[in-house]
Amino acid sequence: MSERPEWLDNAVFYEIYPQSFMDTDGDGIGNINGITQKLGYIKELGCTALWLNPCFCSPFMDAGYDVSDYCKVAPRYGTNDDLVRLFEEAHKLDMHVLLDLVPGHTSWEHPWFRESMKAERNEYTDRYVWTDSVWEEPTGYGSLRGISDRDGSCAVNFFTHQPALNYGFYKPERPWQQSMDSPGALSTREAIKDVMRFWLSRGCDGFRVDMAGSLVKNDEDGRGTIALWQDIRRFLDAEFPRAAMVSEWGEPDKSLLGGFHMDFLLHFGPSHYNDLFRCEAPYFGGHGDASAFVARYKESRERSGGKGLICIPSGNHDMDRLARHIKGDDRTLAFAFLLSVPGAPFIYYGDEIGMNYVEGLTSVEGGYGRTGSRSPMQWDDTANAGFSSAPADKLYIPIDPDADRPTVKAQLGDPHSLYSEVKRLISTRQAHKPLQSLGDIEFISDGKGCPLAYIRSLDGERILVFIDPTDGKNTMRFDGTPAEVLYHFGRDIEISDGCISSQGKTAVFVRL
């Protein structure tokens, strides 16, 4: 891992789905200028950085994750100049902006793919993963077949319209499987470097990388993909050494070795993340068990050398809203956890006010079951919740129809609102370095039918974090003498030397 940009040490990210955040031109779709307009709100909440979901040209069959031009902002969002101005305005507020890099596939409308489909060889022939015969599909992947004069089937990622870019195979097993050092695979790698170079030179602060661990094929142990990212990191160190890199990988021992600064904890795979927030009986719903999550989290930290740079999001565009499964004050307890663990927390737009998952929506731009988590931001009680002046039937996704839907305006004026608690939690985190990205963590309770408790420490300062989503009296012992309560939410607690008791439904941070 390269030298870490210092601003990551206390970063709190705000994820923005551009389509649904703020529409300033009345077409029913959010835009870049809308994000710029609302930077003050994000800053006031306490967030120090943004992650923007893809905002590039696309046919939008997968909400922009099917890119057709990596170096041009989609016209519906504005222009490249608008995005550069967003970078500049964010920097004036001492905020940073990560763009979403999608290196694994493009849209089938991308010019690279159109050239790659041609029967005659050209510089893009090997830009994607093709078999030698249209009758042979790439094992383990879906494919595009019979779509051009070129003989062969093209591997796809996720949706049919997303042809897979060629970074080579770690262990080639068929004649058409090119090695990682083949000209085609190396050309793809250089093309992605050019994309990164384009935006970093215009003021972007780095990238969140979509499915970063999936690029090299037949790479069971990730060794090839690690080597690929190490090469990209060397390029960044030479030209853009302050570029921050956050991976969607879910295996921090691999991603950090590859040169990423932080890794996302995924909501699928072995992380047990859903045990906390999204299952039939989530831990922060008061009736679940966090022990499997804690065990996996500790294992991940140990395997990554104790760096702790594991990002845990409140949610994102790919999963249910936090509020779908966590109700009432339990939402504040969930944020008390999210904002007191190592690594940078990521807040999905609207989660800070408890926006609902909107049930029963027809899929929009490949959202399917995810569409209900992508509804427009709810700013106030005016038409379309202040998101857009467009007619309601022209909105990208319908506004939550609930008459009691939360809004920013209502919660800003309520000192007991979820927004106010999230703001207070961020402020507490920022005031105490042990609670930030680099502080160590020692679990003293794993949440197996009981409170979750851990001690954060850095440079001799120790803070006990005690979060009790249960609904009964609990007592726990710890090593230390309480000196100051830094944060308290919920029911009464009793603290003495080496002992803390609660009546349930509470969170407390205690400096020892």
Q: Which two tokens stand for residue 258?
A: 């590859």
Contact 301, 293 (CB under 8 A): no
- Give residue limits of the domains in the chain: 6-103+186-428, 105-164, 440-511
Q: Assign 424 to helix, strand or coil.
A: helix
CATH entry, 6-103+186-428, from 3.30.565.10, 3.10.20.30, 3.40.50.970, 3.20.20.80: 3.20.20.80
CA 439 to chain centre: 21
Joined together, the tokens standing for residue 444 give 């003293």
Coil/strand/helix, residue 169: strand
Amino acid at the residue 78: G
Pairing of strands 499-502, 493-496: antiparallel
DSSP classification of residue 360: T
Distance between CA atoms of 285 and 470, rounded to whole angstroms? 8
Q: Strand pairing partners for 474?
A: 502
DSSP label at residue 409: H
Q: Record the pTM.
A: 0.97
What pLDDT sits at residue 209? 97
The amino acid sitting at 437 is S
Fold topology of 105-164: Oligo-1,6-glucosidase; domain 2 (3.90.400)
| CA–CA gap between residue 155 and residue 408 (Å, rounded) | 44
User: What's the burial of 256, exposed, middle or buried (CB within 10 Å: 0-12/13-18/19+)?
Assistant: buried
Largest CA distance in the chain: 78
Whole-number Cα distances in Å, 413 to 222, 295, 380, 387, 407: 49, 40, 12, 19, 11
CB 354 within 8 A of CB 315: no
Q: Which residue has the tokens 């030209």?
A: 239
End-to-end CA distance of the chain: 32
What is the layout of strands, in order, in the sheet containing 13-16? 310-311, 262-264, 244-247, 206-209, 96-101, 49-52, 13-16, 346-348
Same fold, 105-164 and 440-511: no
DSSP 265-294: PPSSSSS-THHHHSSSS-GGGTS-B-HHHH
Alpha-carbon distances of 251 from 77, 254, 266, 304, rounded to whole Å: 33, 6, 9, 9
- Looking at residue 1, its pLDDT comes to 52
Torsion of CA 165, 366, 50, 373, to 10 degrees: -150
In three-state secondary structure terms, 351 is: helix
Q: In sequence order, what DSSP letters do the residues of 94-110 get, joined into one string?
A: T-EEEEEE--SB--TTS
The C-alpha atoms of residue 57 and residue 7 are separated, in whole angstroms, by 30
CATH homologous superfamily, domain 440-511 = Golgi alpha-mannosidase II (2.60.40.1180)
Mean pLDDT by 10 residues, the chain (512 residues): 84 98 98 98 98 98 98 98 98 98 98 98 98 93 94 96 98 97 98 98 98 96 97 97 95 92 82 92 92 93 79 94 96 98 96 98 98 98 98 98 97 96 98 96 93 96 96 92 96 93 96 96
Distance CA 189, CA 400 (A): 42
The per-residue pLDDT for 141 is 87
Q: Coil, strand, or helix at residue 306? A: coil
